[in-house]
Amino acid sequence: MADKLWTKNVRMTEEIEKFTVGLDREMDLYLAKYDVLGSMAHITMLESIGLLEADELKTLLAELRYIYAQAERGEFEIEEGVEDVHSQVELMLTRKLGDTGKKIHSGRSRNDQVLVDLKLFIRDRIKEIARLVVCLFNELIAQSNRYRNVLMPGYTHLQVAMPSSFGLWFGAYAEGLVDDMQYLLAAWRITNRNPLGSAAGYGSSFPLNRQMTTDLLGFDSMDYNVVYAQMGRGKTERNVAFSMATIAGTIAKLAFDACMFNSQNFGFVKLPDDCTTGSSIMPHKKNPDVFELTRAKCNKIQALPQTITMIMNNLPCGYFRDLQIIKEVFLPAFDDLKDCLQMTTYIIGKMKVNEHIMDNSIYDPIFSVEEVNRLAKEGMPFRDAYKKVGLDIEAGKFTPMKDIHHTHEGSIGNLCNDKIEALMQNVVESFNFGKMEDAIEKLIKG
């Protein structure tokens, strides 16, 4: 069993170590390259305040860049008996560079290390999620424009209600994603603050230059109060999880619609054949498994904020080991959401719609409001027109006029997709990912 960073003269039993380490080694592989980036910024700052020599910094940075490249290739491993990613990186440096490798932890705790690792990880994942949301958004807008003139039934209470269109249906989910991106932008802004230098939550007697590490890592600002920086552990993950859950909620609803509209009872859309599966007993079946799994995964993501809240809830200020468990539910959730976004984008792009739904007479009553409005425009009081059309329907005398003309903003005849696209573009530009990307590239390349 390898010595821990904190080992003095008491060693853990194997059972206790297994329990306390838990899944940290597996989870920390998500954080490996970010731990290296944080260390690169930290030691650059240490050299500037006289805690490292220039030649030591140069040697350490070269070795850290090598470890970073390993992590990028997926070759970084946390050895058996090594507690976490922080210990592994320091062990690798010490093996290669001797005492120089032992100097990187000055003015730092594993508490602010994991804080900065998580924030760097989250920033990258938010950037990926935002890109995938935009890809789905673009497919939805394209389908909305493609089928803008194809009518479909609109429902309330799962009863046929009023005329809708595929332009409206696809476009509604596109605009929903704009609001979801606002949540993601809020999560980005909360995340994009530097906790490094808060140490164990109470700062350091070393004259750390926290603004320097903030700039080196491309953060917008820092978590200024060192106690609050530690209090942000769990809170950051919960807030990010809420933004992920919001996106997942939109996808889950879309998946439910698509599964229902794909069924023979509706027959509104046809999902791509490669996204359906068959039955072992019924040769006619084409089950919408991809969207069903997407719906389930998205519902699981929607439960994530509550799970995190229950783990961190009512903890007083300061660090507690409870927070370790959040990693196990939080870090893998990004992969699930990315998969769901990619699958949904693929299906939406390949989805075909039934352009003759309204030919079926069962949908004739949908046009009743159109007739009421027509009579009202001709001068009949609305309530009288409503009663007349209702009685005609009950007597079997109603003949629908299916040539409808809606012109107001956001209606069948005026989708405002250009306005919705402008809203999305404005949100995307507000992230300003370029600042982060430029800083990290400079840190890696030197």
Q: Which of 66, 61, 135 is nearest to 100 (CA)?
A: 61
Q: What gap in Å lies between CA 30 and CA 23, rounded to an integer?
A: 12
End-to-end Cα, the chain, rounded Å: 36
Q: What gap in Å lies between CA 394 and CA 407, rounded to an integer?
A: 30
Q: What gap in Å lies between CA 180 and CA 129, rounded to an integer?
A: 11
Read off the amino acid at residue 292.
E
- Which structural domains are found in the chain, ordered by start? 14-103 (1.10.275.10), 110-150+165-358 (1.20.200.10)
Q: Express each pLDDT in 42-52 by its tens digit.
A: 999 999 999 99
Quote the pTM value: 0.92
Instruction: Give CA 23 to chain center in angstroms.
Output: 23
Band (pLDDT 50/70/90 cuts) for residue 261 is very high
Helices 32-48/54-72 angle, 10° precision: 170
Q: What gap in Å lies between CA 113 and CA 140, rounded to an integer?
A: 40
The region that residue 130 occupies, defined by phi over 0 for left and psi between -120 and 50 for alpha, beta otherwise, is: alpha
Q: Express each pLDDT in 356-390 by its tens digit.
A: 999 999 999 999 999 999 999 999 999 999 999 99
For 274-292, letters b (16+ CB in 10 Å) and e give ebbeeeeeeeeeebbebbe
Q: What percent of the chain has pLDDT over 70?
A: 97
Q: If you average pLDDT over every residue of the chain, what do you get?
A: 93
Q: What gap in Å lies between CA 44 and CA 103, rounded to an integer?
A: 12
Q: Express each pLDDT in 63-82 by its tens digit.
A: 999 999 999 999 999 998 88
Is the per-residue pLDDT at 3 higher than 70? no
The pLDDT score that the predictor gives to residue 277 is: 80
Q: Express each pLDDT in 153-171 by its tens digit.
A: 999 999 999 999 999 999 9
Helix or strand run (H / E) with residue 374: helix 368-377
Is the per-residue pLDDT at 6 higher than 50? no
Helix or strand run (H / E) with residue 434: helix 433-445
Is the per-residue pLDDT at 28 higher than 60? yes
Q: What gap in Å lies between CA 12 and CA 367, rounded to an integer?
A: 75
Read off the amino acid at residue 126.
I
Is the per-residue pLDDT at 13 higher than 80? no
Read off the amino acid at residue 124.
D
Q: 151 in helix, strand or coil? A: strand
Band (pLDDT 50/70/90 cuts) for residue 22 is confident
Tokens of 367: 């046009």
Residues 6+ apart with CB under 8 A from 418: none
